[in-house]
Structure 1
Amino acid sequence: MIKNILFFALCFCAFTVVHAQSDIPTQKPLKIEAIKKADPKGTTKTGPVLNIPSVIKEQPELDYKKPKPVKMIPDEELVQAGTGLKIDPRIGPGERLGGSGEYFADQYLGDVKSNGKFIGVVCRDHEYVDGDRVKIWVNDMVVEPNMLLTGAFKGVNVDLQKGFNKLDFEALNHGSSAPNTAQVDVYDDTGQLIYSNKWLLSSGSKATLIVTKE
């Protein structure tokens, strides 16, 4: 009886071991394919979804012994800075903002004769008093470096030499409203008015008067 029980017990254990081993999944070897090498020629790739065009037309030739400068755009497209910009050299700073924008060049005031020892030259701003200033030259020498023109006459006495005496009135600015405006009167050595005129000048321009002494 005991032998029969032991026999059935051994058979049951063997069946259990065989059944348990059958539940273990079988292993299959993993197959890894080699990575395809990149195509250095950039040939077109075809596939069911993507069609990637080549972006490399030619293989560059590199010579590290002869470095070349890097250029971002072709030479024929390079343009010098300021090309096409036109600046009118006659227009001074603020000329367009302070007045009509018109340029007033050098002005010839004419000539006058006087045989006296000297003359008196006086100037005033005959229009809106806005801070106009002038420099007075006699025969290319400065006799008044900076005269502020007001509503009243201001001036200098000028000794005359025989022949031509050139008087230049240089506009140092055009005040708050262009142009530089003034009335100029000339008196002889006896106090008689022998000349009167007006000028309209842009900054840097000159009005010239010739006084002749025989």
Structure 2
Amino acid sequence: MKFGKLYIALFVLLSGGVFAQFDTGKRSVGIAPVTPKAAPKEVQKPDEKEKSTILPEVLKPESNKPIVEEKPLSLTPSNEFMSNSREFTKVFEGELNKIKPQRKKQSLGTIKVKTKSVYIRCRDSQAIDGDQIRITWNETLIANRLTLTGGFQGIELQLDKGYNYIDFKVINEGDSGPNTAQYEIVDKAGNVLANAFWDMNSGDTATMVLIRE
């Protein structure tokens, strides 16, 4: 019982102390304690013994090597530009040859004849502008620079036994190209053995073959 009374007395004293603090009539204001800032860390100085940042190999300066190698000045003529010039000329000539019109050889056919001679007749089949041709027979010249007109011009030709090659070569195209011609092969009886037209450029050749049986 003594201990019980003692506990009760202590409880009463402690409770009175707590209520006494609130009965003072003064409102207490709580102020949060100020936390002192941590002192700044001491900046560490780089160790002089440590190496600086390593640059990539491409950025490392080379030792006293010039960026552009200087060639010694020479007063002796060089063939470098001459060889380049020749190569350019070859290429230019090759391209120029492509532009030039290619010479053509046209076949007018092959016919068989039984007569010893025929007439070769030619005329300009379109505008009369000064077209000219050359006629050869078995590589023998029989008409040089024949100017074509609106009417037929005839040449009598004595044929060899066997093959007779007649070549019509264009000399020029007149005032307006191409060379426009009509030719006929006629026997002595007036029979037309061959008849054809052509449109050719200067230098072109048309060949007729007559086989005398």
Using structure 2 for the length normalisation, give the TM-score: 0.59
What stretches of structure 2 of length at least 5 have no aligned partner?
A: 1-65
Distance 1:109 1:199 in 2: 9
Residues 84 and 162 of structure 1, relative CA distance in 2, 3 Å threshold: same
Judge conservation of contact 2:169–2:206 (CA < 8 Å) in 1: yes
Distance 1:156 1:167 in 2: 12
Cα RMSD (Å) of the superposition?
A: 3.2
For structure 1, which segment, 77-86 or 126-135, has the greater mean C-alpha deviation from structure 2 after superposition? 77-86
Judge conservation of contact 1:110–1:209 (CA < 8 Å) in 2: yes
Among 64, 85, 88, which residue is 1:79 paired with?
Answer: 85
Residues 175 and 113 of structure 1, relative CA distance in 2, 3 Å threshold: same
2:156 counterpart residue number: 157
1:198 counterpart residue number: 197
Give the SS at the match of 1:78: helix
Judge conservation of contact 2:116–2:212 (CA < 8 Å) in 1: no
Judge conservation of contact 1:107–1:199 (CA < 8 Å) in 2: no
Judge conservation of contact 1:117–1:189 (CA < 8 Å) in 2: no
Judge conservation of contact 1:104–1:200 (CA < 8 Å) in 2: no
Percent of matched pairs sharing the same residue: 30
- Which structure's residues are more often helix, by fraction? 2
Among 79, 88, 97, which residue is 1:88 paired with?
Answer: 97
What stretches of structure 1 of length at least 5 have no aligned partner?
A: 1-53, 93-102
Residues 211 and 68 of structure 1, relative CA distance in 2, 3 Å threshold: same
Aligned residues: 145
- Offset at 1:205? 1.3
Distance 2:81 2:117 in 1: 68
1:108-139 per-residue CA deviation (whole Å, 9 max, x = no partner) reads: 00011211120000001101211110010001
Distance 1:210 1:192 in 2: 17
Residues 84 and 149 of structure 1, relative CA distance in 2, 3 Å threshold: same
Read off the aligned partner of 1:126 and give its amino acid letter. S
Residues 79 and 158 of structure 1, relative CA distance in 2, 3 Å threshold: same
Which stretches of structure 1, 4 residues or more, deviate above 2 A after TM superposition? Answer: 57-60, 73-84, 88-92
Distance 1:125 1:185 in 2: 12
Read off the aligned partner of 2:193 and give its amino acid letter. I
Distance 2:209 2:123 in 1: 19
Judge conservation of contact 1:181–1:200 (CA < 8 Å) in 2: yes
Read off the aligned partner of 2:112 and give its amino acid letter. K
Read off the aligned partner of 1:177 and give its amino acid letter. S
- Offset at 1:82? 2.5
